[in-house]
Amino acid sequence: MALAPRTTRRTAPQDAGTPVAGSPATDAEVSLEPGVQRRTLLGFVLGGATLIAAAPMGAGLVEPAAADGIPSVPQPPEIYDLNDFLSHAGLATSLLIKIVINEDGTASFELPRAEVGQGITTSTAMIIAEELDLPLDRVKVTLAPARPELLLNQLTGGSNTTISTYTPIRVAATVARGALLEAASVLLGDTVDQLVTKAGGIIEAPDGRQVEYGELAVAAAARQDREVQVELGERRTERRVVGTPQNRVDALEAVTGRKQYATDLQVPNAWPTMVCRAPTLNGKPLAVRNLAAVRRLPGVTHVEMFDFGVAVRARTFGQCIDAVRAIEADWEDGPVAGEDDASILEGLRRAQLPLPALPSLPLLRTVNQDFTFYFRSNSAMDTNSAIADVRSDGAEIWSGLKSPVVAQEQIAAMLGLPVSSVRVNVVQSGGSFGRRLFFDGAREAAQISQRMGVPVKLMWHRADDARAGRAHPMCTSRIRAAHTLGNVVAFQQSHTSIETDFRHGLGEALTAFAADLPAGLGNLAFSETVFTLTQEMPYNFGAVLQTLTEADQRFNTGSMRNIFSPDVRAASELMVDRLASEMGRDPYEFRRAFSKNARVTAVLDKVARAGQWGREMEPGTAQGISIHKEYKGATACLVEVDCRPETVNRVVRDAVTGPRVTKVVFAVDAGLIINPTGLEAQMQGGINDGIALALTSSLHLQGGHFVEASWDNYFYTRQWNTPPEVEVHLMPSDSPQPGGAGEAGVAATFAAVACAVARATGEMPTHFPINHLEPLAFEPKPFVPPIPPSPTNGLRLTY
């Protein structure tokens, strides 16, 4: 049931009338950025057997300013963006993160975040190692189970982890160092200021006598909690760890197969469990006609019906697959039965807002364009999975979760158990891309375990993960821009989207807090707040207006390595190219002239130079260039794409080929860089996502369900489409604060590829991915049974 559209809008009238191209950027963010000056911060030494140093989660953050503190200037993300929002949300409660010094001389830390591949366990260990002068391998970072008292501070999203945890971790580490020095001064009989910490966790007196952290761990322990004031000054320059290239702390486990994901855990009796789902999206089972026969199949122990499908538990997942395929059930159609891409798109077009009138100016010329972005799956390699052991008096859950507190509360309510009786363990997951903000697997596993009365290890089949798992919503962007006398005087973008689900708790929990937001932002629904806080037009384009309208709640949606930016920016960067061409200017030079921000201009210049912008290219091939500003940083991307027929039509079995991105030059200014190796890796990954969004990967809705059911249907970038040449430049920065990385590579790449395809083919693409309307490149797998059979020919396909 399509809901009435909700709309938000924000206007950006330039108060100085027509902007002057190339006028110096004003960057309010720089002056508002917290952490520049030397500050005294509050930390704690907590009572314990060994030294426990702690800091409040919000340490170092500036309190959200009252409405008159942050000027209500027109571009919210420039002064106050989504990361501030996520960080400030954590100020509501006074919560502690803790570093423990152990008797073996190691430091341990439980990170209240999910590691899903983005490298935050490594970067966190690096921050602690540097502050404590410890080698990286003596810092143990683990993932904290659900800690209800942490509320929003335990949500991993918006590429916000490092931004929000950097200062609190430094404070706690500084407290630990201080307590160790004090304990050492007692032992060595010197005053604290005569002692120095040495690399390797050693404290040395002027006469050369030394004592190790491990020996001090107990002596430095506090009997009672006490407050400590610490100063976070300049970072010391000697023995730096932060900013040096470090390999991931879990790399060895990953390459040896020892790294454990939810389905690898051996929980006693948690036998394999799978679900048979409806032939239409979100359909419900009415009856299983052959229940008894399915229960008798080899290996099967339980078969039970739920509103999400029919669950089967068996000795092996292979036997679950066979049993799911054997189920004969009657189904009630899901809410989008009978609909397809075209009918959903029609609904979006109806919901779209009209663009407001343009000012009447002499010689005004306008450019208009509509863009469509189809559904995309945020399925990770590791499908939705969870282990649940639900008993009458308590429950334990294991799953890769980015919002474990919300999962714990909601699962407890669903099971009818007190929150304190439900333990939720956060397991490393094989990718997230937005999906693990939700806990679809954990919720189902808990229900199944409760009903069956046994522990279960639930794993979604790939076909379900692609079809019924969450998707990035379909959306449209209508853009109108006007220029006259060499200036762009107006840029309007009306973005209309299937509703993005924020019901992972962030939305609800923030409601109270949102009312205190500056600039009247508090009245917006959560998705609108996110839109308003992330979308920023990085150009001086006069009156800028960007609106979000949402319609239609019937889909399973979520973010996908960002929510709005890749689509919004791809559409607007294509229009920037069109404006440049209408005004007779070069795309790079035009962007440079209208750029609002010096950091953006710097990354743009970097890729233009390193990528030899404007070099001679063969017909059918072209360069594309774009910029993006988000996550307290700036990115730019230059790509070269080959759209010649011999490339586009090359044949790879069971695959799409199409245009090939042959080279990517990417530059990122991510503020203070914790780990260059990890930052580069995140950009490389984001580049492949951007290419997939532009060229190959989407879900097709047909007959009320998505048809893609495998990685050979849903065409995420593969080796044959990945660029053979990728260059990532990390910009030096004097920012004292790190920016976000996990999602930062996607938007600029998507936009640059789209621009390059337009220039190579002479035709601006207006729907994405560009191959979406071509005939399907695969034979859709049946919907009944919902999952494909296991093949038997593996021994004939060896190499």
Which spans of this chain sit near ligand FES (rule: CB under 6 A)? 117, 381, 430-431
Strand partners, 527: none
Closest of 155, 100, 145, 463 to residue 279, by C-alpha? 463
Which residue from 209, 261, 419, 583 is in contact with other proteins, where contact means CB under 8 A? 261
Among the residue ranges 12-20, 92-100, 622-630, 718-726, the one whose residues contact other proteins (CB under 8 A): 718-726
- Report the residue from 254, 414, 776, 784 that binds other proteins according to the rule CB under 8 A: 254
Q: How far is the CB of 481 from other proteins (least distance, A)?
A: 32
Dihedral angle computed from the Cα positions of residues 173, 177, 183 and 184, in that order, rounded to the nearest 10 degrees = 150
If you ran DSSP here, which 8-state letter would residue 631 be given?
T
Question: Under the criterion CB under 8 A, does residue 284 sit at the interface with other proteins?
Answer: no
Q: Which of ligand FES, other proteins, none is residue 673 near (CB under 5 to 8 Å by kind)?
A: none
- Residues 766-795 touching other proteins, rule: CB under 8 A, are 788-795
Tokens at 259, concatenated: 């790294």
Q: State in angstroms the smallest separation of the CB of 430 from ligand FES.
A: 6
- B/e letters for 563-577, b = 16+ CB within 10 Å, e = fewer, are bbbbbbbbbbbbbbb
Shortest Cβ 245–other proteins spacing (Å): 8
Does the footprint of other proteins cover residue 720 (CB under 8 A)? yes
* Residue that is written with structure tokens 């469509």 in the block: 372
Burial class (CB in 10 A: 0-12, 13-18, 19+), 649: exposed
Minimum CB distance to ligand FES, residue 460 (Å): 13
Identify which of residues 431 and 455 has a Cβ nearer to ligand FES in the complex.
Answer: 431
Give yes or no for residue 712 binding other proteins (CB under 8 A).
Answer: yes
Quick one: CA dihedral 257, 259, 264, 269, positive or negative?
positive
Please give the full DSSP string across 129-181, using - where no structure is assigned: HHHHT--GGGEEEEEPPP-GGGGGGG---TT-HHHHHHHHHHHHHHHHHHHHH
Q: Which range binds other proteins by CB under 8 A, 251-259, 492-500, 636-644, 768-776?
A: 251-259
CA distance 546 to 535: 8
Stretch that binds other proteins, among 86-94, 255-263, 391-399, 548-556 (CB under 8 A): 255-263
Per-residue CA distances from 160 to 83, 566, 631, 729 (Å): 6, 17, 8, 21
| C-alpha separations of 219 from 89, 103, 684 in Å | 37, 10, 46
Nearer to ligand FES, 64 or 685 (CB): 685
Q: Report the C-alpha gap between 594 and 579 in whole angstroms.
A: 12
Work out how close the CB of 50 gets to ligand FES at its nearest, in angstroms, rounded to a whole number. 35
- For other proteins, the binding residue among 256, 269, 360, 649 (CB under 8 A) is 256
Q: How many residues does the chain have?
A: 799
Residue (of 636, 684, 473) closest to 558 by Cα position: 473
Residue number, 116 or 544, with CB nearest to other proteins: 116
Query: Is it true that the peptide bond before 77 is cis, omega within 30 degrees of 0?
Result: no
Q: Is 717 in the site for other proteins (CB under 8 A)?
A: yes
Taking residues 664 to 683 in sequence order and writing x for each that binds other proteins by CB under 8 A, - otherwise, the string is: -------------xx--xx-
Q: Which is nearer to other proteins, 147 or 436 (CB)?
A: 436
Pick 228 or 459: Cβ nearer other proteins: 459
Fill in the per-residue mask, 589 to 628: x = in contact with other proteins (CB under 8 A), - = not in contact. ----------------------------------------
Indicate the pairing of strand 767-768 with strand 139-143: unpaired
456-459/271-276 β-pairing: parallel
In terms of CB distance, is 381 or 776 closer to ligand FES?
A: 381
Residue closer to ligand FES by CB (options 186, 381) is 381
Q: Minimal CA–CA distance to 759: which of 659, 656, 652?
A: 659
User: What's the min distance (Å) between Cβ of 316 and other proteins?
Assistant: 4
The continuous run of DSSP H or E covering 543 comes out as: strand 543-551
Shortest distance, CB of residue 658 to ligand FES, whole angstroms?
A: 22
- x/- mask, other proteins, residues 363-392, rule CB under 8 A, reads ----------------xxxxx---------
- The nearest distance, CB 188 to other proteins, in angstroms, is 40
- Taking the complex as a whole, the smallest distance from the CB of residue 86 to other proteins amounts, in Å, to 22
Q: Which is nearer to other proteins, 49 or 381 (CB)?
A: 381
Query: Shortest Cβ distance from residue 691 to other proteins (Å)?
Result: 9
**Minimum CB separation from ligand FES for residue 116, in Å?**
9
Provide, rounded to whole angstroms, the least separation between the CB of residue 103 and other proteins: 29
677 binds, among ligand FES, other proteins, none (CB under 5 to 8 A by kind): other proteins
Site string for other proteins, 726-745 (x = CB under 8 A): x-------------------
**CA–CA distances in Å: residue 560 to residues 78, 320, 352, 361, 570:** 23, 29, 23, 41, 15
**Closest approach of Cβ 626 to other proteins, in Å?**
18
Nearest residue (CB) to other proteins, 378 versus 597:
378
Question: Nearest residue to ligand FES, using CB?
Answer: 381
Among residues 64, 431, 704, 765, the one that binds other proteins under rule CB under 8 A: 431
12 vs 741 by CB, closer to other proteins:
741
Which helix (H) or strand (E) segment holds residue 689: the answer is: helix 676-695
Q: Write the single-letter amino acid at 230.
A: V
- The one-letter amino acid at 528: E
Count the neighbouring beta carbons within 10 Å of the beta carbon of residue 92: 16
Which of 197, 319, 534, 562 binds other proteins (CB under 8 A)? It is 319
751 by Cβ neighbours in 10 Å (0-12 / 13-18 / 19+) ranks as: buried
Which of the 8 DSSP states describes residue 194?
Answer: G
Q: Would you count residue 272 as binding other proteins (CB under 8 A)? A: yes
Nearer to other proteins, 237 or 792 (CB): 792
Q: How far is CA 589 from CA 328, 405, 479, 487, 685, in A?
A: 63, 48, 22, 14, 28
**Residue whose CB is less far from other proteins, 62 or 730:** 730
The answer to the question of residue 649 lying near other proteins (CB under 8 A) is no
Name which of 90, 67, 68, 70 is nearest 80 in CA terms: 70
Mark the segment that binds other proteins (CB under 8 A) among 64-72, 152-160, 209-217, 317-325: 317-325
Look at phi and psi of residue 491 and say left if phi exceeds 0, alpha if psi is from -120 to 50, else beta: beta
Q: Residues 161, 738: contact at Cβ < 8 Å? A: no
Q: What residues numbered 294-313 form the site for other proteins, per CB under 8 A? A: 298-299
Judged by CB, which is closer to ligand FES: 261, or 306? Answer: 261
> Per-residue x/- mask for other proteins, residues 96 to 135, rule CB under 8 A?
--------------------xxxx----------------
453 is an interface residue for other proteins by CB under 8 A: no
Q: Which of 208, 199, 205 is nearest to 236 (CA)?
A: 199
